[in-house]
Structure 1
Amino acid sequence: MKAQQIIPILRIFDYQKTIEFYIDWLGFEIVWEHHFEENTPVYMEVKKDNIILHLSEHHGDGTPGSRVFIWAEGIADYHKELIDEKYKYNRPGLEKTFYDAISFTVDDPFGNKVIFNEKVDKEEHKD
């Protein structure tokens, strides 16, 4: 087997809070949304660069409190962008980890955590 893509499914409970957090603050874009009919739970795909998440209001699609661990580049710059937004509900700290990465964690309104990481480059991250 050779995996082509891995897409985590995170449980959400409130469409407006989802948009405020994932779209307006983190900068993801909605790729598509699905409802079986009017006034039913949403299932959506969001993406930022090559990060793709599925977000679902459907019971049984994921457990609140799940974590998504992401390796990326430009973490310090992205962290600064988010802090500069002054989002009312989240001000993550940037840290150096025991596994030689710089990292920050954001907690979504539904108890899920998205952990952004970048391998430490001794020269680039010396400060």
Structure 2
Amino acid sequence: MEASKVIPILRIFDETKAREFYIGWLGFQIDWEHRYSDDAPLYMQISRGGVTLHLSEHHSDSTPGAKIFIECTGVRDFHQELNEKHYKYNRPGLEQEPWNAISVTVVDPFMNRLAFNERL
């Protein structure tokens, strides 16, 4: 087997808070959105710099409290970008990891954690 891409599905409960966090603060873009009807739960794809996530209001798609480990570059710049936005609900630190990496971990409003890691 050979996979071409892995796309995590994260459970969300509030569309406004999800957009504020993922689009407004983290800087992801919305690739597409889907609802079965106007009053149905939202399912959408977002992306930034090679990272693709699915966000779902559907109760059976995922469990809140997931953690995603994202290998990337530019973590120092990303850390600075986030803290310069002064998002009042999250001020992540820049951590030195024991596996010769630096990381920035953020927690979304639904208790999902995204750990952005850069090997040194």
Indicate the RMSD between aligned Cα atoms, in angstroms.
0.5
Q: Structure 1 residue 93 and structure 2 residue 93: aligned?
A: yes
- The corresponding residue for 2:19 is 19
What is the number of residues matched between the two proteins?
120
Q: Give the residue type in structure 1 aligned to 2:112.
A: N
**TM-score relative to the length of structure 1:** 0.93
The structure that has the greater radius of gyration is 1
Q: What's the counterpart of residue 39 of structure 1?
A: 39
- Aligned partner of residue 39 in structure 1, secondary structure: coil
Matched, 1:29 2:29: yes
Matched, 1:9 2:18: no
Does 2:43 correspond to 1:50?
no
Unaligned ranges ≥5, structure 1? 121-127
Counterpart Cα distance in 1 of 2:6 and 2:82: 25
CA displacement at 1:49 relative to structure 2: 1.5
Name the SS for the 2:47 alignment partner. strand
Offset of residue 106 of structure 1: 0.2
Letter in 2 for 1:21: F
Aligned to 1:84: 84
Specify the alignment match of 1:68 in structure 2. 68
Task: Name the counterpart of 1:109.
Answer: 109
